[in-house]
Structure 1
Amino acid sequence: MTLLNNPRTRRRRFGVGAAALGLIAALFSAAPAGATPDPGDSPAAPKSVSKSDAADAKAAIKSGKIPAPDEIVHSDNIKHLANIPKDALPGTNSDLAFQGKYAFAGNYDGFRIFDISNPKKPRTVSQVLCPGSQNDISVSGNLLFLSTDSSRSDNSCSSTSQPATEKSSWEGMKVFDISDKANPRYVSAVETACGSHTHTLVPEKRNVYVYVSSYSPSATFPDCQPPHDGISVIKVPRKAPQKAAVVDFPVLFPGEGPDGGGNPGGPTNPGVSKTTGCHDITVLPSKDLAAGACMGDGILFSVKDPENPKVIDRVQDNKNFAFWHSATFNQKADKVVFTDELGGGGAATCDEATGPERGANGIYDVTGKGDKRKLVFKSYYKIPRHQAATENCVAHNGSLIPVKGKDLMVQAWYQGGVSVWDFTNSSKPKEIGYFERGPLSADTIQTGGSWSAYYYNGYVYSNDIAKGFDVLKIDDKRTDPAERVRVRELNVQTQPDYFD
């Protein structure tokens, strides 16, 4: 691991003891000039579009229907307060987490810590080079958690890309000590089956449980064998994070045969992803509930026993959902918003041809009580603004805006920007504000836009894949009550009880 621009600076296990301490010391003594991001974790190359699509995009820009490249547009109730461009970490910006006056921003090349005590002027506190897509990020107390979902030569921050077919390759979770925000310290790593695409914290007083979501096994991958029909559960002792270890692999989709019991995908369900694990899980600890977005399935499960989650209900949408991506509860836990990442986040799906129901959110009511609760579909929500054929756009990461008695959410849509919307009436959701930039290009699809857009203590923070860290302010009577709500820490996939 190398600290950059610091104002002050699938098999090899992370050893504990003298060997581990020696590795940590070596990492911190590495010269920053010698650290270069790994091209194996770079974003996909620009994709060409047809001449007619490029012409349509340019015509839409000229007519004003689509903003010009890099032009910022927004609704009257949203202000753009700040942007901090990418600096020493040129890779894809990913997820966000928050604690006190700090924001933690993942990047395929590592992570960055911002001081947001003045949201109009965020300040970089430290940048850590530690390549390994997608570097999904969470924090709890003095610990920071980082997902590695690309096959690496080892578990260090100086590893390089290596084929998953090699037994020595490593993927999984990394744990850092962030008691000194200017000098994060890498303390442990845990290998998990099929890596860690995302993760979710279930924090307790003495331990932090980490639910690791990963998918896409192959018989050719020694450490990622089918059927991969569950999640890895890691137990991290707060006082001894170096002892972090996998304690279970609960099967969420039991079934006979090599493929388990999840959605079979095509050709049985054309256009639907085969379920071979989960993409993302959101827990609501105050209600002992979790919702899982698991490729071809959406699930509701109990986390009363965090080491042994129990599935309560399971739903599919084989008509309109291609890839169940993420989930958000409303505060009362009587609704769940699931997102569909049609096209994997790299396609232009916010257009008239795709329509309002694909690449959208699916809103479900939660009915019944206890283990008899059911997910009942109510409606879809998709941003009402069509995007150019050169803009990757689809439903992505968002969070609640805490207003008592209302169900409001802010959400990232890649190059569709940031949408603020109301789903209090789960059958009639509506947008109430937005922010977006024009396409990165009018000729090719270049991966960009807002990866995550979250509400935290009065402001909206967005991590733009290409453009960096944005701060937005909503000025609207419908969202104003949220400004009085404060939390000490926010990992969106571990939803707080704002009004407890």
Structure 2
Amino acid sequence: LPEDGGVGSLNFSPITRQQFDDQGMLLVSGYTTTRGATIKYVLAGCDAPEPHHITGCYATCTNGVLTEKGTFDADRLVQSRGEAESAGGFNLVSESVVDLGFPADVYVTKNHAYVVSIQLKSYMPAGGLTVFDVSDRSHPVLKKVISLPGDGYWNAAWAKDDVLYVATRASGVILFDISNPGDPTYIRSVPSGAPLDVHTLFVEGNRLYAMALRPAQTLIFDITSPRDPVLLNRVVFTSEEFVTSYPHDAFAYEGRLYINHTDIGFLVTDPTDPLQVQELGKYHYNRQYSHASAVGTFAGRTIAFEGSEQEGAHLRVLDVTDPANIQLIGEHRLRPTTSIHNMILKGTKLYVAWYQEGVRVFDVANPTLPKEIAYFNAYRETDPKRLGFVYEGVMGMRVPGDGYVYAVDTSRGLLIF
């Protein structure tokens, strides 16, 4: 809702009725799908228990028939808890605008930052790849911008040697030659065959894991020759209860592949034999949407930090030493309307990309009690390209060990700390 009283939006659709009075708030919006179905959203705000917080009821109708209803909690996502912009010496060194689409992830190698962007809706700007020379972290230099017609959703990046791998919605994994790091050149896309929506990537040694949404599968490639990935297997985990679940992300550690399989849960697998990947255990909780994770060893125990997405999401700490008997040993929560997109574990520090909560840094030397030691509040609702929905803010992040932290904010672009 614009501060000037102009027409707002609801679920990306213009609001067609907007009413505010002593009875409360009423918002109505809708759209017609490509198949001709008429969708209508109705939001009735009934109470404001505190500033920037509204509660009420909502309903969704399809072709005039009620299809969903319930209650809601809505927050104006301003800087919360009386925090400053930053704390713990976590200071912004530079900020670089990314013009392509909706910035989502970054990979840093060869003194260059490779930022990938997504196209949220078909009528919004397409994403692609934006390359910065970050030799001088205080003054990154834009080197190249790449996009492909018909494939505007590039969500993740990783590299090995002179090859950059990019996860895309229509082309699977695209390979770029970065032997000249400021001038990536297209090599090809993998796997061959039908279009594949690859969402995230993880490289460990000579293995590339690619997590695909449609069709839902985890692809395992041998990248002994980085320019010539060999597809070893397409691994599928299914559930009769959660038929639309897909692998959102994964983390490889000490012979295990930990898969954030959204609704199915957090899976521990053994990929030693890529042709027969075994599920060793699973952690699941009510309304789970397992989204990101990082795994390490603490006092001889294997500990996983798991972040979920969507409402009520937060950080969970799991003892996965025995995958068949995973134990919850710690938690950390911020606001219930914000959620986690990504995380990086470096020694006993956990860096979390927490959407509108910005970058959060935790001391996890005692993993049962994550202690927040630093943060940067990147989200400002007045920034250009803010859309007023829960999945914006800081999304991607890298901590390559060069003394800097690199993060991507969906509006502000590349942030270096």
With the length of structure 2 as denominator, give the TM-score of the two structures: 0.71
Residue type at the aligned position of 1:107: S
1:73 is aligned to 2:50: no
Write out per-residue CA displacement over residues 434-473 of structure 1, whole angstroms, 9 at most, x where no aligned residue.
Answer: 111354259972553101233232111110111111111x
Q: Retained in 2: the 8 A contact 1:103–1:115?
A: yes
Aligned partner of 2:290 in structure 1 is: 324
Aligned partner of 1:22 in structure 2 is: none
Aligned partner of 1:290 in structure 2 is: 257
1:411 is aligned to 2:352: yes
Aligned partner of 1:177 in structure 2 is: 177
Counterpart-to-counterpart distance in 2, 1:316 and 1:422: 25
Counterpart-to-counterpart distance in 2, 1:437 and 1:72: 11
The answer to which structure, 1 or 2, has the higher relative contact order (CA under 8 A, 6+ apart) is: 1
Write out per-residue CA displacement over residues 372-425 of structure 1, whole angstroms, 9 at most, x where no aligned residue.
Answer: 664221122223xx48xxxx73112121133xxxx2211111111110112332
1:114 is aligned to 2:68: no
Secondary structure, counterpart of 1:334 in structure 2: strand
TM-superposed CA distance for 1:283, in Å, is 0.9
Aligned partner of 1:195 in structure 2 is: 197
Q: How many residues align?
A: 338
Aligned partner of 2:108 in structure 1 is: 98
Residue type at the aligned position of 1:420: V
Aligned partner of 1:380 in structure 2 is: 331
Aligned equivalent of 2:221, options 225, 231, 234? 234
Counterpart-to-counterpart distance in 1, 2:156 and 2:388: 24
Q: Runs of at least 4 residues of structure 1 off by over 6 A? A: 45-55
1:424 is aligned to 2:365: yes
1:315 is aligned to 2:283: yes
Q: Percent identity?
A: 19
Counterpart-to-counterpart distance in 1, 2:14 and 2:346: 34
Secondary structure, counterpart of 1:399 in structure 2: strand
**Unaligned residue ranges in structure 2 (runs of 5+):** 1-10, 16-26, 28-42, 55-76, 119-126
TM-superposed CA distance for 1:364, in Å, is 0.3
Q: Retained in 2: the 8 A contact 1:72–1:437?
A: no
Q: Retained in 1: the 8 A contact 2:218–2:247?
A: yes
Aligned equivalent of 1:460, options 402, 405, 417? 405
Aligned partner of 1:434 in structure 2 is: 375
Distance 1:76 1:378, change over 3 A: closer
Secondary structure, counterpart of 1:197 in structure 2: strand
Aligned equivalent of 1:339, options 307, 322, 325? 307
Aligned partner of 1:164 in structure 2 is: none
TM-superposed CA distance for 1:288, in Å, is 1.8
TM-superposed CA distance for 1:145, in Å, is 0.8
Aligned partner of 1:210 in structure 2 is: 208
Counterpart-to-counterpart distance in 2, 1:445 and 1:181: 35
1:248 is aligned to 2:248: no
Secondary structure, counterpart of 2:104 in structure 1: strand
Q: Retained in 2: the 8 A contact 1:395–1:413?
A: yes
Q: Retained in 1: the 8 A contact 2:158–2:203?
A: yes
Q: Retained in 1: the 8 A contact 2:340–2:353?
A: yes
TM-superposed CA distance for 1:210, in Å, is 2.4
Counterpart-to-counterpart distance in 2, 1:53 and 1:111: 42
Counterpart-to-counterpart distance in 2, 1:264 and 1:102: 44
Aligned partner of 1:135 in structure 2 is: 155
Structure 1 or 2: larger helix share? 1
Distance 1:360 1:92, change over 3 A: same
Q: Retained in 2: the 8 A contact 1:300–1:375?
A: no
Distance 1:460 1:317, change over 3 A: same
Distance 1:102 1:437, change over 3 A: closer
Structure 1 or 2: larger strand share? 2
Residue type at the aligned position of 2:416: V
1:264 is aligned to 2:241: yes
Residue type at the aligned position of 1:231: T
Q: Retained in 1: the 8 A contact 2:359–2:378?
A: no
Aligned equivalent of 1:300, options 264, 268, 282? 268
Q: Retained in 2: the 8 A contact 1:462–1:469?
A: yes
Aligned partner of 1:396 in structure 2 is: 341
TM-superposed CA distance for 1:366, in Å, is 2.3
Counterpart-to-counterpart distance in 2, 1:378 and 1:416: 23
With the length of structure 1 as denominator, give the TM-score of the two structures: 0.60
Counterpart-to-counterpart distance in 1, 2:53 and 2:293: 35
